[in-house]
C-alpha cells in the first residue's frame, strides 16, 4: 500500500491510509489509539493522567515494565519504568490503563527536573490547586476519601514521601495542620477565604486591556441640578428596564418625581425608586471604596436600598444558594467574598475613572454576589466611579441591551474584553452629548435615538448628529 501510494508510514510499525493530511494532524486525531498501539498494557501516568493531553513539548507519559521513548510526528511517548495497574486504575482505550486520581496526585508530587522540554510532573502548586478544587466541589468527605485511597496505594508503589506531602496539603486545607502552601487558591482556602480561580483569567484580561488603553476625558456636563437628578432618573429607569422591570417612561417619571406607586406593582415601583435614590444622591455617588471592607459594606448597603421592596430577595445580604443565568453559573456562595477580594486587588491598580468603572461593573456582574438585583447594583457601582471622578455616567438604553449583554458574555466566555470596552465607551459618548437640564427635552432626544425601543424591533441606538459627524 505504501508503494502504491494508498498508505504511508507514521512511525515504528504504524501506518495510515490518510495520505493527504499532515502527519501531525493524523496523530492528533488518533492520539490515544496510537499510544495504545505503541505502548500496550501501560498506565497513562504522571502529568498526562491529570492533564489528559500531551504536555507542551508533545510528550505523553506512561508507566510500564521498562523505560523507552517512541517519537511519532511530534508526539513523544515517554515510558517510565514502574508499577503497572494497581487498585483504582481504570481500563482505557482497550490496552491502556488510566491512573486513578490518588495515584496521579502522588506521582505528580515526585521531584522532576525539566530536561529540554516539559517536566514529567505538574508540580506541587498544581496538585495543591487541584486538591482545592476537590474540596470545593466535593467537600471534606471527598478530599478525605481521596487521601485514604492514596494512602492505600502509596506503599506498594514506593510513594511514601509523596504521600507524606499530600497528607500535609490536605491537613492544611482542612485547617487541621500547619503546613505551608504555595498555590494561591490553596492558601486562600486555608486562610478561610477561598475564591473561584476560573474568574481570575477574565478579570486579568479586562485589567490588562484597561491598563493598556487611554480613554478620553468625558467631563460630566450634568453635574449641577437639575441635570444631575434628571440624568439619574434615566440611569435608574434604563437599569431596571433591561432587567425586566418595565414601565412606560411617563409612568416611571410619576413614580420617581410624584411618588405615584401603582397598587398593582408596588415592588417593581420600589425597584425603580430605590435605584433612583442611590444614583440621584450626590453623597452616595461620590463614594468609592478604598479598602475591601468598604467595598463589602458599600455593596450590601446599596443592594438593600434597591431591593427594599423585595424582602424575599435578601436585601443587603450575600446569596446563600448558587444562581445562574441561562447556561452561565455564577460564583458559588462560599467563594463570593474571596473572589470579590481578588478582583478588588486588581481594581486598585486602575487610575482612570472609566477603567475603574468598567472593571468594578464586571467584577460585580461576574461574581453575582446577591440573590437578585446584581445587574442593577453592578451599574450603580460603575456610575459611582464615574460621577465621583467627574465623568459622564453610562446609560444602557433598552435598545442597547443586546450589545451590552453580548460584551459581557464575550468577556466571560472567551476572555475577550474588546467588545465590552467598545460598547460602554460608545454609550458614554452618547450620554455626554445630551443636555439633561430639562427632563422632557432629554426624554425627546433619547426617543429620537431609539433609546426606548425594544431590541426585538430591529432598530439600533442612534448617535446624536455631532457624534455621527465625529
Could you tell me the residue ranges of all domains in the chain?
Answer: 8-99, 124-190, 200-469
Residue range 171-204, pLDDT digits in tens = 999 999 999 999 999 999 898 889 998 899 999 9
Residue closest to 451 by CA, chosen among 226, 235, 289, 199 = 235
pLDDT band at 468 (very low <50, low <70, confident <90, very high): very low
- On the question of pLDDT at 467 being above 70, the answer is no
What is the tens place of the pLDDT at every residue in 296-309?
A: 999 999 999 999 99
Work out the average pLDDT over 382-388: 97
Q: Categorise residue 462: left if φ over 0, alpha if ψ from -120 to 50, beta otherwise.
A: beta
**Given CA atoms 263, 269, 271, 276 in this order, what sign does their dihedral have?**
negative
pLDDT (tens digit per residue) in 208-225? 999 998 898 899 987 899
Residues in Cβ contact with 60 at an 8 Å cutoff, skipping those fewer than 6 apart? 31, 35, 44, 48, 54, 75, 76, 77, 78
Indicate if the pLDDT at residue 310 is higher than 60.
Answer: yes
- What's the CA gap between 113 and 93, in Å, rounded? 29
Query: Within the chain, how many helices (H) and strands (E) appear?
Result: 20, 10
Bridge partners for 92 per DSSP: 96
Helix, strand, or coil here: 77?
strand
**pLDDT score recorded for residue 94:** 84
Q: Is the pLDDT of residue 470 over 70?
A: no
Q: What is the pLDDT of the chain when averaged over all its residues? A: 93
Query: Once rounded to an integer, what is the mean pLDDT over residues 391-411?
Result: 96
Distance between CA 340 and CA 7 in Å, rounded? 57
In the predicted structure, residue 116 carries a pLDDT above the cut 70: no
- Dihedral pair phi/psi, residue 262, rounded to 5°: -65, 130
Question: What are 225-264's pLDDT values in tens digits?
Answer: 999 999 999 999 999 999 999 999 999 999 999 999 999 9
CA distance to 114, 147, 311, 435, per residue, from 381 (Å) = 47, 44, 22, 23
- Predicted pLDDT at 87: 92
Mean pLDDT on 384-389: 97
Looking at per-residue confidence, does 467 or 421 come out higher?
421
Residue 226: asked if its preceding bond is cis (omega within 30°), the reply is yes
Q: What is the pLDDT of residues 131-149, one digit of tens each?
A: 999 998 889 999 999 999 9
Q: What is the pLDDT of residue 172?
A: 95
pLDDT value at residue 115: 65
Cell readout for 219 is 467631563
- Given a cut of 80, whether residue 322 has pLDDT beyond it is yes
This prediction's pTM: 0.78
Whether 130 contacts 56, CB under 8 Å: no
* CATH class assigned to 200-469: mainly alpha
User: Residue 320: CB partners within 8 Å, gap ≥ 6?
Assistant: 314, 333, 371
Amino acid at each position: 500500500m505504501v508503494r502504491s501510494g494508498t498508505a504511508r508510514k507514521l512511525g515504528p510499525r504504524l501506518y495510515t491510509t490518510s495520505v493527504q493530511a499532515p502527519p501531525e494532524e493524523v496523530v492528533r486525531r488518533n492520539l490515544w489509539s496510537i499510544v495504545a498501539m505503541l505502548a500496550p498494557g501501560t498506565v497513562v501516568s504522571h502529568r498526562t493522567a491529570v492533564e489528559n493531553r500531551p504536555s507542551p513539548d508533545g510528550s505523553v507519559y506512561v508507566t510500564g515494565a521498562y523505560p523507552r521513548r517512541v517519537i511519532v510526528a511530534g508526539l513523544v511517548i515517554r515510558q517510565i519504568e514502574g508499577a503497572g495497574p494497581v487498585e483504582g486504575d481504570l481500563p482505557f482505550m482497550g490496552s491502556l490503563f488510566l491512573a486513578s486520581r490518588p495515584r496521579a496526585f502522588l506521582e505528580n508530587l515526585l521531584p522532576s527536573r525539566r530536561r529540554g522540554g516539559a517536566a514529567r510532573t505538574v508540580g506541587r502548586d498544581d496538585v495543591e490547586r487541584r486538591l482545592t478544587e476537590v474540596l470545593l466541589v466535593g467537600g471534606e468527605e471527598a478530599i478525605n476519601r481521596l487521601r485514604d485511597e492514596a494512602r492505600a496505594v502509596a506503599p506498594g508503589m514506593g510513594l511514601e514521601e509523596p504521600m507524606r506531602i499530600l497528607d500535609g496539603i490536605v491537613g492544611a486545607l482542612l485547617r487541621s495542620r500547619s503546613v505551608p502552601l504555595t498555590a494561591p487558591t490553596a492558601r486562600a482556602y486555608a486562610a478561610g477565604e477561598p475564591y473561584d480561580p476560573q474568574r481570575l483569567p477574565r478579570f486579568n484580561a479586562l485589567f490588562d486591556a484597561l491598563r493598556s488603553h487611554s480613554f478620553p476625558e468625558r467631563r460630566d456636563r450634568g453635574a449641577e441640578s437639575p441635570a444631575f437628578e434628571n440624568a439619574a432618573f434615566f440611569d435608574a429607569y434604563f437599569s431596571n428596564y433591561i432587567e425586566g422591570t418595565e414601565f412606560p417612561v411617563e409612568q416611571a417619571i410619576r413614580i420617581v418625581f410624584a411618588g405615584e406607586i401603582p397598587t398593582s406593582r408596588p415592588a417593581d415601583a420600589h425597584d425603580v425608586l430605590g435605584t433612583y435614590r442611590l444614583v440621584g444622591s450626590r453623597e452616595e455617588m461620590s463614594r468609592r471604596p478604598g479598602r475591601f471592607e468598604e467595598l463589602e459594606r458599600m455593596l450590601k448597603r446599596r443592594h438593600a436600598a434597591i431591593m427594599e421592596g423585595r424582602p424575599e430577595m435578601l436585601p443587603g445580604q450575600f446569596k446563600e444558594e448558587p444562581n445562574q443565568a441561562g447556561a452561565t453559573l455564577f460564583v458559588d456562595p462560599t467563594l463570593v467574598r474571596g473572589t470579590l477580594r481578588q478582583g478588588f486587588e486588581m481594581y486598585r491598580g486602575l487610575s482612570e475613572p472609566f477603567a475603574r468603572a468598567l472593571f468594578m461593573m464586571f467584577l460585580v456582574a461576574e461574581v453575582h454576589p446577591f440573590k437578585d438585583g446584581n445587574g442593577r447594583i453592578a451599574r450603580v457601582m460603575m456610575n459611582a466611579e464615574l460621577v465621583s471622578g467627574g465623568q459622564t455616567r453610562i446609560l444602557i438604553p433598552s435598545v442597547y441591551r443586546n450589545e451590552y449583554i453580548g460584551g459581557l458574555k464575550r468577556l466571560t466566555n472567551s476572555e475577550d474584553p474588546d467588545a465590552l470596552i467598545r460598547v460602554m465607551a460608545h454609550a458614554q459618548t452618547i450620554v455626554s452629548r445630551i443636555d439633561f437640564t430639562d427632563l422632557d427635552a432629554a426624554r425627546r432626544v433619547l426617543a429620537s435615538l431609539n433609546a426606548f425601543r425594544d431590541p426585538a424591533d430591529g432598530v439600533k441606538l442612534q448617535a446624536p448628529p455631532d457624534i455621527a459627524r465625529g
